[in-house]
Copies of this chain bind each other. A is one copy, B any other.
């Protein structure tokens, strides 16, 4: 068991009409001039953006707005946000959207009080000690950024997608109304659930196997998602199903499911290169990579994969054949991915096989020019990354 810090200070306000509290919450956490940061059409079309603006106005909170954040959020938009915040003397950033908008907001929050280029933060050339307060009105359960300390930004100059984590960016509050996710398309819903599960699985596949309570919570979360996923796809306006997914998204990435262990995170790193290169939905990319990662690394800790197969996927344990049980767990996960419309390899993800040059380029970026490894369950050298991309192609 590894020592751990658990710090999840975000105030979650969960329920119908929870957005009604937005102005009071902004003021409670010290905001007087807000950047309302959002993505594209859906926040406008649904009327949510208009409602938030009206609530802030009625609550006596000044604001400016900035839309246009895209999935795999871009550094250029972050720069635009920083400039706007400085010009308008913004002291609080309210993200209205999902992980991309919240991640972009965190990057802006780091950048405003920093004299240099905020990309320095993501390149670990500068460690921020302060940032603007960030909070969210969540509309897409997936990334878990609403309670997390992490954000991922893509620098278009070279298609580099890099994550950065710092507790100072943990959001002050998160307003979560499951009704706001009713209109999320099936593919985005399924990709979100895949991302939520993967945040848990990255922490679950670990050689620190002595924190049973963390395992029990992780398994409970994963089984709940497996149970709820087909139901929410069939019945997208069911409050109960949407609520499970929304709350699971936060719990999966606020560190609760990782207490006492070192996570793996190789699947995330391998996927970041995929979505960096092909601009695919992050969750779908994870589903395309994980089965190949799992088959490639399972011999490093087969009993962990047996536990996953039996306790999460409901596979019968063949005590005479741990490898076989482990494989059947991976196959059950592939069937689950397919059942919710997710790919299980890269050609299902992007419609064609990737070629050797593309693999080489992704390995180069994922290993930072051959200098770094990825993962913990099995530490992946560049040759391992190449082998997994080839298995997955």
Contacts and interface: CB of A to CB of B under 8 A. Distances in A.
How large, as a class, is the contact surface on chain A?
35 or more
Copies of this chain held together in the complex: 2
A335 to B, nearest CB: 21
A243 interface: yes
Given A11-B5, A14-B4, A220-B213, A259 B240 contact: no
A18 B5 CA distance: 10
Contact of A228 (B212, B220, B228): B212
Contacts of A9: 8-9, 11
A243 B228 CA distance: 32
Given A12-B5, A217-B217, A224 B247 contact: no
A240 B213 CA distance: 11
A17 to B, nearest CB: 8
Given A221-B217, A223-B216, A224-B216, A243 B5 contact: no
Interface in A199-234: 210-214, 216-217, 219-221, 223-224, 227-228
A14 B256 CA distance: 13
Interface in A2-43: 2-9, 11-16, 18
B15 A212 contact: no
A153 interface: no
A50 to B, nearest CB: 23
Interface string A241-274: 0011001100100001001100000000000000
Q: 7 closest A-B pairs (Cβ-Cβ)? A: A3-B15, A216-B220, A9-B9, A6-B12, A220-B220, A7-B11, A213-B224
Interface of A: 1-9, 11-16, 18, 210-214, 216-217, 219-221, 223-224, 227-228, 239-240, 243-244, 247-248, 251, 256, 259-260
